Amino acid sequence: MIITSARVIVTCPGRNFVTLKIETDQGVYGIGDATLNGREKAVVAYLEEHVIPVLIGRDARRIEDIWQYLYRGAYWRRGPVTMRAIAAVDVALWDIKAKALGCPLYDLLGGKSREGVMVYGHANGTDIAHTVDEVGRYIEMGYKAIRAQSGIPGVDKAYGVGRGDMFYEPADAALPTETIWSTSKYLAHTPKLFEALRDKHGFDPHLLHDAHHRLTPLESAQLGKSLEPYRLFWLEDLTPAENQESFRLIRQHTTTPLAVGEIFNTLWDCKDLIQEQLIDYIRTTIVGAGGVTHLRRIADFAAVWQVRTGCHGATDLSPVTMGAALHFDTWVPNFGIQEYMRHTPETDAVFPHAYSFEAGLLFPGEAPGHGVDIDEALAAKYPYDPKQLPVARLEDGTMWNW
Ligand SMILES: O=C(O)C(=O)C[C@H](O)[C@H](O)CO
Ligand SMILES: [Mg+2]
């Protein structure tokens, strides 16, 4: 089964998505997501200039060899651009293989380990009372797990609090929006949020929270300790994890479960975090970490250390990533949870998909492959719209982590 063409499709049905479509001489095609929020064109160029030319003429069935060729063969390894390009190829090839065999992707991976995939949604409020109401709304929609983020008094444009009820889109302007951050105000506010949430909604719903890399290790430990009474499902991205060792300090001080990894691209970014059992959930996902082929390696490694998966699933990960992730989640033995930020109806129309939501679970569907397609004619109606992620500064003007 020979690859005869590969094309990059850029579309913006409310937000930008980069999709790779690979076609074969047997008429079977596959698609993969290559979206890198705010840096889309870098991946487009990488695919068009350096990847597609070496794909044409290869046997689409040789997924592993093509993965190794693109990873080792580049000499320049890893990084978000390279690994997204590899992910797009890899997912398209798994899609092709499963379609050619007439089976859903999860069957190819080893079959179902569960019937449905527990997901968490995003409840965001301008203040504590609003966030408590929003969490209630998600409970009513059937969610078993909910991420709660709230505006912070005195902090303009706090992370996670967006416009719109269901669709938080942080990449909001052609040049980065400047936001202001205060760790002391955040640390004073956040325990009050979770106290109010448990008072109102009890301990049944799983609650999650994302600190979005804003804290030092010691501040992270303080937050983790202060939230222990509210028994979070996880506390995410407390501190930048370039230095994996920094999680040792956090771990020594708190039993709040820790999640990290949405910006990681390979096993090497989380090897120490996993094997020292410094985290409980690894957040790497299909598009971020080289596709199904590499994510499977990360998950298998994590299983040895009882670390479970918690795939990133914000809206900048296209329905193609969501579809592939759901097949992966349906199979992976050490599954933890899947993030699910709904896409807009325009996005869902451009990417018809087999997955569906019911009672807090997502189901990948039974269509052959990963079950997600692209309507190219519709996609062409939504041209690329340059948007970048915000940046953050401390109150004195110092650049900080957004
Ligand atoms: O979904 C999350 O946990 C995020 O942190 C979302 C990120 O801010 C988003 O994917 C950035 O593009
Ligand atoms: Mg996050």
Write out the residue limits of the CATH 3.30.390.10 domain(s) in the chain. 3-107
339 lines ligand 1 (CB under 6 A): yes
Phi-psi group of 33: left, alpha or beta (phi > 0 → left; psi -120 to 50 → alpha; rest → beta): beta
* End-to-end Cα spacing for the chain: 45
Dist. CA 299–CA 335, nearest whole Å: 9
- Each of the 402 residues of the chain gets a pLDDT tens digit; together they read 999 999 999 999 999 999 999 999 999 999 999 999 999 999 999 999 999 999 999 999 999 999 999 999 999 999 999 999 999 999 999 999 999 999 999 999 999 999 999 999 999 999 999 999 999 999 999 999 999 999 999 998 888 887 666 667 899 999 999 999 999 999 999 999 999 999 999 999 999 999 999 999 999 999 999 999 999 999 999 999 999 999 999 999 999 999 999 999 999 999 999 999 999 999 999 999 999 999 999 999 999 999 999 999 999 999 999 999 999 999 999 999 999 999 999 999 999 999 999 999 999 999 999 999 999 999 999 999 999 999 999 999 999 999
Out of 46, 159, 186, 340, pick the active-site residue.
Answer: 159
Residue located nearest, by CA, to atom 5 of ligand 1: 212
H helices of 202-238, in order, are 217-226
Nearest CA to 363 out of 119, 184, 130 is that of 119
21 lines ligand 1 (CB under 6 A): no
Q: Quick one: pLDDT at residue 161?
A: 84
Tell me the pTM.
Answer: 0.97
Give the amino acid at 392: A
CB 80 within 8 A of CB 263: yes
Q: Quick one: pLDDT at residue 160?
A: 83
Write out the residue limits of the CATH 3.20.20.120 domain(s) in the chain. 109-366
Q: Quick one: pLDDT at residue 163?
A: 66
71 noted as active-site residue: no
CB 178 within 8 A of CB 145: no
Q: Which CATH class is domain 3-107?
A: alpha beta
Nearest CA to 285 out of 348, 363, 330, 339 is that of 339
- What atom of ligand 1 comes closest to residue 314's alpha carbon? 1
| Ligand closest to CA 147 | 1
Say whether 60 sits in a helix, a strand or coil: coil
Beta strands 29-33 and 17-24, pairing class = antiparallel
Out of 212, 294, 343, 370, pick the active-site residue.
Answer: 212
368 lines ligand 1 (CB under 6 A): no
Distance 235 CA to ligand 1 centre (A): 14
- Mutate-to-test residue for ligand 1 from 17, 36, 168, 212, highest number of ligand atoms within 8 A of CB: 212
Distance 64 CA to ligand 1 centre (A): 29
Q: Is 140 exposed, middle or buried (0-12, 13-18, 19+ CB in 10 A)?
A: exposed
Distance 8 CA to ligand 1 centre (A): 24
Q: Is 344 exposed, middle or buried (0-12, 13-18, 19+ CB in 10 A)?
A: middle
Q: Quick one: pLDDT at residue 164?
A: 64
159 noted as active-site residue: yes
Residue 16 phi/psi, 5-degree rounding, is: -80, 140
**CATH T-level assignment (fold) for domain 109-366:** TIM Barrel (3.20.20)
Residue 99 phi/psi, 5-degree rounding, is: -65, -40
212 lines ligand 1 (CB under 6 A): yes
Distance 249 CA to ligand 1 centre (A): 24
Distance 162 CA to ligand 1 centre (A): 12
Dist. CA 78–CA 85, nearest whole Å: 11
Rounded to 5°, the CA angle 250-254-255 comes to 125
